Amino acid sequence: MIGLLGCGGEAPPSAPAAAIYVEAQQVDEGAPAVVHAPAGSTVEANDGLVATAASEDTWELRGDPGSYIVSVTAPGREPVRVFVDIGVDGPDAGELADLLSVPPEPDPTWPIWVASAAALATIVAISYAAWQRYKPAPPPPIPDPPHVVALREWDRLRARTDLAPEELARQMSEIFRTWVGAAHGFPATRRTTREIVDNLAGMLTAAELDATRRLLMATDLVKFAERQEHADLFARLDDDFRGLVRPVRSAGRA
């Protein structure tokens, strides 16, 4: 049994942060009662009870069967009286019967830290989700200029070996028409060869207009050429394309 008796008959004080307490309220005969108190405390037992320091903050109390009052003085604090029962039941009458039990050792603080960490993690997660939702969208990437796109597609097409000559020529013409539309503001993919050449007449030299006609009519040129002439024809179309496809500052006529 454990109790506190306030000095001078006053009401017992609440336990300090570094509590003074006995591990068990009652122990069997021959077993020690263990008192916990801050380091540097003094433990004074009454007659028939021996207090032995077990560590810097624990003392073992041994004695004959009976109920004992022990005075414990922590540094800088008023003495506190606790009592233990060794080999007997606690008193049910008299001064000791009304003593308050010393509070047990304070509960561990780790559950509070765990709960606080979980709450903080939740706040961080919610804040990050809100930031992700409402943060300004990054500006769209600057598109590649038309001549860069056209040359990239042309090189990709020229690297293929699975297309028949007529299909290869047709796709070459489509890439060239797409570039004309993007570079000159003219819907070349929906216009005839003559309309495209007429539209570009004021911007290109006579040699460039001839190269333009060959690229626009590549399918017909390949279709009517002899097979042995295809390699030379595609090489000529490649030269035409690379000579015409270049940066253009202003759009042509609609």
Task: State the average pLDDT for the chain.
Answer: 81
Q: Are 77 and 16 in contact (CB under 8 A)?
A: yes
Taking CA atoms, 57 is separated from 19, 87, 107, 113, in Å, by: 11, 24, 18, 26
* 150 and 93 within one domain: no
**Closest CA relative to residue 204, chosen from 249, 240, 244:** 244
**Is 254 domain-assigned?**
no
Beta carbons within 8 Å of 50's beta carbon, 6+ residues apart: 61, 62, 63
Structure token pair of residue 193:
């060869």
Q: Which of 77, 98, 119 is the last residue of a domain?
A: 98
In the predicted structure, residue 96 carries a pLDDT above the cut 60: no
Same domain, 94 and 176: no
Count of domains in the chain?
Answer: 2
Q: Which domain holds residue 209?
A: 146-244
∠ Cα 38 42 58 (to 5°):
50
Look at residue 104 and tell me if it is in a domain: no
pLDDT tens-digit series, residues 135-176: 788 888 899 999 999 999 999 999 999 999 999 999 999 999
β-bridge partners, 17: none
pLDDT for 250 beyond 80: no
Q: What CATH number did the domain enclosing 27 receive? A: 2.60.40
- The fraction of the chain above a pLDDT of 70, given in percent, is 84
Return the structure tokens found at 204: 């290109």
Which has more pLDDT, 101 or 162?
162
